[in-house]
Amino acid sequence: MTGQHVVMIVGGAVAGSEAAFQLAQRGVLCFVVEQNERPYGKVEDGLPRWHDKLRLQEEKKIDEKLSHPLVHLVPRTRLGTDPALEEVLGWGLSAIVFANGAWRDRPLPIPGIDRFIGRGFWYQNSFVNAFNHYPEPEYSGPPLEIADNALVIGGGLASLDIVKILMLESVDRALDARGERIGFYPLEHEGISKVLARLGLSLQDLGLKGCTLVYRRSIEDMPLAEVDADATPEQVAQARKTRRKLFQNFLQKYLFQFREYSTPVACLDAGDRIVGLRVAGTEARNGRLITLPGSEMDFSSELVISSIGSIPEPVPGIPMDGEVYRIKDDLTGEVAGLERVFAVGNAVTGRGNILSSRRHGRVVSQHMLENYLAGTASGYEEVLENAASGAAVQVNAVARRIAEQAPLSPEGRAAVIRRFQALQERVGYPGDYARWMERVRLPLV
Ligand SMILES: Cc1cc2nc3c(=O)[nH]c(=O)nc-3n(C[C@H](O)[C@H](O)[C@H](O)COP(=O)(O)OP(=O)(O)OC[C@H]3O[C@@H](n4cnc5c(N)ncnc54)[C@H](O)[C@@H]3O)c2cc1C
């Protein structure tokens, strides 16, 4: 065989599997390095587990793409630590494509709050991960903390997931304690208020107050609810009104509390645990958000969850521009200062939407939020679709760049394959995707 291009892809989920599939279709040999046993990323660990149909559908798409004969998975291997990027850069690959998503929670800007992580304070990514996996018999992560009266800081779609998890878990447990076995999934499907009305019960009867979502702006300003740039002022006003109404219905269905124009400014602690937050009022002035001095109020709570966004994890050797990787070419996602290293999907923007489809992404997001609030769809269908199509567009540009350079010689290709095979052997990968997945696939809970 003559020379062939060989590419390493970091991350095997929506963006990574799409990137690998697109390149493999063009005859490129792909090795997909994935830190976890299963390559499903946010679909398995971020999408709350009541979206079971959507999860299975998305996992099937990833399985199909990673089963391409030119795609080889290297599971349980974290690029950045072992192997280090510096080492891999010396292997002579045609390209490295980062599709490693956005797994670092944006730090909550309250001095000292991180010392309470796991002791009454959680970030969204680890909280949803614990919620999704704790019913599994072999779950060994931190126990999921649930408390009535929890405070959730956020405002995006993911923060609404957190609120739902807290309310559903609290009510399900309280109903169980009274001998009313409704079940978690029927409760999610029907909504808390309907179930309680049917049983002739209120939250107070269950001894619950409900959690509170604290948002610095108004519900009409939620980040996923931007309106089309061409909209008239009347259309904007109508969209905002509709969204508020839908949100009120959602609030009614899950019975939580909402504080808009509020932001946490300090944590209240009792030595080794968080016991609440000091929250100040805010006001929008000329488009800027002002924290109002003297408006602070203390809220007691055993549990605080921050859901203010996810950003890419820093990887030693990749330059950063604030929260995201420093990119020198928006079209390909080529990383500044590194030859033939690219980043696609959430790894570039910290969000799912790529730059070239941002306008489209906004319009879609508006429907997505409204679907989510109305309960007519999970809200994530379109955003997952956007993540895959965004990665495909970028990888097309990457493929054109790769095609401009000489392929690896047969010896170079053989040497690279040996490197990846050694990594696969180290973790006991049998060399076949279907056989590996049979071993590590989770039973449905
Ligand atoms: C709850 C939730 C919230 C969302 N919020 C938003 C949003 O606010 N805005 C938006 O636009 N889209 C959002 N999305 C959509 C998001 O774009 C898609 O979910 C999509 O899953 C992202 O795909 P990805 O492949 O880029 O990242 P991921 O699904 O995060 O996959 C990355 C993969 O890389 C692996 N990985 C990470 N680091 C390494 C490493 N160093 N070495 C090896 N492997 C590594 C991970 O294990 C993972 O499998 C959200 C999705 C969900 C489910």
| Tokens found for residue 148 | 């009535």
The answer to the question of residue 281 being in a domain is yes
Q: What pLDDT is recorded for position 71?
A: 98
The answer to the question of residue 405 being in a domain is yes
Verify that 61 and 149 share a domain, yes or no.
no
The answer to the question of residue 238 being in a domain is no
Q: What pLDDT is recorded for position 1?
A: 44
The CATH number that applies at residue 170 is 3.50.50.60
pLDDT by residue (tens digit) across 186-230?
Answer: 999 999 999 999 999 999 999 999 999 999 998 888 754 456 667
State which of 38, 40, 42 you would mutate to test the pocket of ligand 1, scoring each by most atoms of that ligand within 8 A of its C-beta: 42
Q: What pLDDT is recorded for position 366?
A: 60
Verify that 292 and 335 share a domain, yes or no.
no
Count of C-beta atoms within a 10 Å radius of residue 409: 13
Verify that 216 and 361 share a domain, yes or no.
no
Q: Is 203's C-beta closer than 6 angstroms to any atom of ligand 1?
A: no
Verify that 111 and 97 share a domain, yes or no.
no
Spatial CA neighbour of 213 closest among 250, 259, 251, 245:
259
Verify that 293 and 215 share a domain, yes or no.
yes
The answer to whether residue 31 scores a pLDDT higher than 90 is: yes
Confidence of residue 364 (pLDDT cuts 50, 70, 90): very low
Q: Is 362's C-beta closer than 6 angstroms to any atom of ligand 1?
A: no
Q: Is 43's C-beta closer than 6 angstroms to any atom of ligand 1?
A: yes
The answer to whether residue 350 scores a pLDDT higher than 90 is: no
Q: What pLDDT is recorded for position 227?
A: 62
For residue 289, CA distances in Å to 185, 216, 228, 281, 318 come to: 39, 8, 22, 10, 32
Confidence of residue 123 (pLDDT cuts 50, 70, 90): very high
The total number of structural domains in the chain stands at 2
Verify that 133 and 82 share a domain, yes or no.
no
Q: Is 79's C-beta closer than 6 angstroms to any atom of ligand 1?
A: yes
Range list of H helices, 143-286: 157-177, 184-190, 192-199, 233-254
Domain boundary among 288, 306, 324: 306
Q: How far apart are CA 412 and CA 210, in angstroms?
A: 61
Verify that 327 and 395 share a domain, yes or no.
yes
The answer to whether residue 8 scores a pLDDT higher than 90 is: yes
Give bridge partners of residue 249 from the DSSP assignment.
none
pTM of the predicted structure, to 2 decimals: 0.92
pLDDT by residue (tens digit) across 165-178?
Answer: 999 999 999 999 99
Q: What crossing angle do the helices spanning 233-254 and 157-177 adopt, rounded to 10°?
A: 20
Q: Which atom of ligand 1 is nearest to the CA of 77?
A: 43
Confidence of residue 240 (pLDDT cuts 50, 70, 90): confident
Verify that 173 and 293 share a domain, yes or no.
yes
Domain that holds residue 364: 6-103+312-440
The answer to whether residue 409 scores a pLDDT higher than 80 is: yes
The CATH number that applies at residue 346 is 3.40.50.720
The answer to whether residue 353 scores a pLDDT higher than 50 is: no
Q: What pLDDT is recorded for position 369?
A: 67
Yes or no: say if 389 and 357 are a contact pair by the CB < 8 Å rule: yes
More confident residue, 363 or 135: 135
